[in-house]
């Protein structure tokens, strides 16, 4: 079956680094996305990985290992505004027809 | 602002009723996706349209239907509403059918409350 697993909640301190893990089992793979979603708001795109390795974008980095079905999102220099849910999503077919979202990891940043 | 618009922002209705949610994609985007997000739940993919044609179907109930019009806006119709249909409904759009780095951009959502 299709499955995306992420921790439900994480807590970290302002200024610290946090790593949010995602493991997936899908029938196909054509890219992995990370989105940020503040409560009651729309998800916003953070990163996209389709090849193995690390993609860096400012304070955010995302890593992918296709052989392990594993990704992580790394957030550095945490700010209070980073408190949000982080959604891992996999596009499961070459035609890009379907993107499956994980339930999300709720991150709490404390002072 | 993603450029995707959704109306209405909030909708309160009664069980058994029918509602229509509307979405306008970003300028130039050909694909529209509909998602349902219940309280504390992940995004559940409902359906995708590409350039007016249905492209992919997820866990969409038979009571729900959608279409994409020639001007590329889309409507999601929900009928015989039940309490469990209360949720945030998001529309997203992307430039193509979902190939390569094609990224989905989400609208602000419609919050549906069924009483």
Mean pLDDT, rounded, for A91-108: 81
Nearest to A104 by CA among A76, A75, A80, A84: A84
Average per-residue pLDDT for chain A? 92
- Residue of chain B whose Cα is closest to the Cα of A96: B98
Determine what percent of chain B falls in helix, strand and coil, rounding each to the nearest 5.
5, 50, 50
Residue entry with tokens 């350039």? B51
**Confidence check: pLDDT of A89 > 80:** yes
Q: Is the dihedral of CA B39, B42, B47, B48 positive or negative?
A: positive
Q: Do residues A88 and A71 touch, judged by C-beta distance below 8 A?
A: yes
- Residue of chain A whose Cα is closest to the Cα of B103: A45
Instruction: Give A95's pLDDT tier (boundaries 50, 70, 90).
Output: low
Q: Do residues A64 and A53 touch, judged by C-beta distance below 8 A?
A: yes
Whether B42 sits inside 8 A of A40 (CB atoms) is no
Distances (CA, A) of B25 to A46, B10, B21: 19, 19, 13
Whether A99 sits inside 8 A of B98 (CB atoms) is yes
Query: pLDDT of A11-47, one tens digit each?
Result: 999 999 999 999 999 888 889 999 999 988 999 999 9
Within 8 A of B111 by CB-CB distance, chain A residues are: 40
Within 8 A of A45 by CB-CB distance, chain B residues are: 103-105
Q: DSSP string of chain A?
A: --EEE--SEEEEETT--EEEEEEEE-S--S-EEEEEE-TTS--EEEEEE-SSEEEEETTEEEEEETTTTEEEEEE-S--GGG-EEEEEEEE-STT---EEEP--EEEEEE-
Whether A102 sits inside 8 A of B42 (CB atoms) is yes
Q: What is the nearest CA distance from B55 to chain A, expressed in angstroms?
A: 7
- Residue of chain B whose Cα is closest to the Cα of A91: B98
pLDDT at residue A2, rounded to an integer? 78
- pLDDT above 90 coverage of chain A, percent: 79
Whether B104 sits inside 8 A of A94 (CB atoms) is no
pLDDT at residue A36, rounded to an integer? 96
Q: Judge whether B104 is closer than 8 Å to chain A, CB to CB.
A: yes
Mean pLDDT, rounded, for A72-78: 97
pLDDT at residue B98, rounded to an integer? 65
Mean pLDDT, rounded, for A59-77: 97
Q: What is the mean pLDDT of each run of 10 residues along chain B (115 residues)?
A: 94 97 95 90 89 89 96 97 96 80 89 97
């Amino acid at each position: 079956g299709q499955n995306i697993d992420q921790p439900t909640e994480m807590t970290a301190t302002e200024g610290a680094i946090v790593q949010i893990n995602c493991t997936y089992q899908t029938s196909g793979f054509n890219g992995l996305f990370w989105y940020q979603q503040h409560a009651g708001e729309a998800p916003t795109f953070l990163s996209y990985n389709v090849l193995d390795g690390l993609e860096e974008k400012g304070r955010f980095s995302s890593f992918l290992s296709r052989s392990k079905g594993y990704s992580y999102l790394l957030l550095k220099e945490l700010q209070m505004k980073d408190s949000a849910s982080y959604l891992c999503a996999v596009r499961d077919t070459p035609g890009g027809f379907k993107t499956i979202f994980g339930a999300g990891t709720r991150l709490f940043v404390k002072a | 602002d993603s450029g995707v618009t959704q109306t209405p922002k909030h909708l309160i209705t009664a069980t058994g009723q029918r509602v229509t949610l509307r979405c306008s994609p970003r300028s130039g985007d050909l694909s529209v996706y509909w998602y349902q997000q219940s309280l504390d739940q992940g995004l559940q993919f409902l359906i995708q349209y590409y350039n007016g044609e249905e492209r992919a179907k997820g866990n969409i109930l038979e009571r729900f239907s959608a279409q994409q019009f020639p001007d590329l806006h889309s409507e999601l119709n929900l009928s015989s509403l039940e309490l469990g249909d209360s949720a945030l409904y998001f529309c997203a759009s992307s430039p193509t059918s979902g190939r390569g780095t094609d990224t989905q951009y989400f609208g602000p959502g419609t919050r549906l409350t069924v009483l």
